[in-house]
Amino acid sequence: MDYRDLPIRDDLRELTPYGAPQIDVPYPLNTNENPYGPPPELVADLAQAITEAATTLNRYPDRDATDLRKDLADYLDHGLTVENLWAANGSNEVLQQILQVFGGPGRSAIGFEPSYSMHRLIALATATEWISGLREGDYTLDAAKAVRAIERHQPNIVFLTSPNNPTGTAMELDVIRAVVKAADEVGAMVVVDEAYFEFARPGTPSALTLLPEHPRLIVTRTMSKAFAMAGARVGYLAADPAVIDALLLVRLPYHLSALTQAAARTALKHVKALLGTVDAVKAQRDRIVAELAALGLPVVPSDANFVFFGVPGGDQKALWHKILGHGVLIRDVGIPGMLRVTAGTESETTAFLDALKESLAVVD
């Protein structure tokens, strides 16, 4: 039976599910994971922490994940405490909870595209109207245009992504400040998605610095990228304590399993080793940018662990297939003429660059 024959909500009929291909290939460079697995000491500690947590799995976990939130507050610093933090199964669940509380039928959210496609998808899945704002040709956000869009549409939620996915573009604090001010004036919440913040180039400011003056600002982060814990599914946010109180209205009881909480807390004890991989990833990112530019491809400067680039001749589907033929899976996000590649280890990155060069010779 086709699912559309079932009595699903009418507003879901036009949607297509999130579908980054999960293909078993030697070089998976398509979902912006950290190419380095957790270090052996962490793996050993995880086994112990999970064993301990397993002895009390007959009991529900701490509903409020208090200890984990405290550890996350310590990691973020910025004067934040447990009351400012919230955690869930990946930042996607955090985003969904935000939309469940502040969006919904009769409400709207705006994002500036191209950006992370799940902002729109989660908005639509929660019956929140989606407004597509635009970025400039170089993928930066023009503050004045963003402010005008907020004034015109009066959304309930404004999404900013910095560094942005799929372009890697980080946002100036002045732009975020202008957007937050405009949002405050129309009573909207602002979500700054900083999933890739740890990869930003030195000096890139975090929106966390704006939290003290802006009770409607929410900054989301994840352990899926720099922390190399995508499989554990842990995302979190920092905001005014009132925001977290509001999220309690929609979170499912015991949403974050005892095993997840134990794994996340254990990983946070190894922050130094985990974040020790960030510089190596950034070096490969910078290498990709430099090599693609040397090949004459249009390439977008990146503050994330991936690179967005233009395809000669504009047929990104053909080039994506050719590169896949070499065992290298990168990402076609559906933007004509553009592809995105995640920075891998040195050898993975070499495999991508070799595959690209050979594929370009064939496509042309």
List of residues contacting ligand PMP (CB under 6 A): 32, 90-92, 116, 161, 165, 193, 195, 222, 224, 230, 235
| Alpha carbon distance 56, 215 (integer Å) | 37
When the beta carbons of 291 and 308 are compared against ligand PMP, the nearer one is 308
Antiparallel, parallel or unpaired: β 235-239 and 85-88: antiparallel
| Alpha carbon distance 201, 31 (integer Å) | 20
CB of 55 vs ligand PMP, minimal distance in Å: 28
When the beta carbons of 72 and 360 are compared against ligand PMP, the nearer one is 72
Q: Which residue is nearest to ligand PMP (CB)?
A: 90
Neighbours of 326 (CB within 10 A): 17
When the beta carbons of 96 and 156 are compared against ligand PMP, the nearer one is 96
What DSSP string runs through 15-66?
-----------SEE-SS---SSPPPHHHHHHHHHHHHHHHTTTTSPP-TT-H
CB of 27 vs ligand PMP, minimal distance in Å: 18
The count of residues in the chain is 364
When the beta carbons of 126 and 359 are compared against ligand PMP, the nearer one is 126
When the beta carbons of 90 and 103 are compared against ligand PMP, the nearer one is 90
Strands (E), 80-120: 85-88, 108-113
Contact 104, 151 (CB under 8 A): no
CB of 256 vs ligand PMP, minimal distance in Å: 13
The secondary structure element, H or E, covering residue 80 is none
CB of 363 vs ligand PMP, minimal distance in Å: 27
Task: Quote the DSSP letter at residue 356.
Answer: H
CB of 331 vs ligand PMP, minimal distance in Å: 10
When the beta carbons of 260 and 359 are compared against ligand PMP, the nearer one is 260
Contact 170, 147 (CB under 8 A): no
When the beta carbons of 222 and 359 are compared against ligand PMP, the nearer one is 222
The secondary structure element, H or E, covering residue 192 is strand 189-193
CB of 163 vs ligand PMP, minimal distance in Å: 8
Residue type, 98: I
In 3-state terms, what secondary structure has residue 310? strand
Q: Cα Rg for the chain, rounded, in angstroms?
A: 21
When the beta carbons of 113 and 193 are compared against ligand PMP, the nearer one is 193
CB of 285 vs ligand PMP, minimal distance in Å: 15
CB of 232 vs ligand PMP, minimal distance in Å: 9
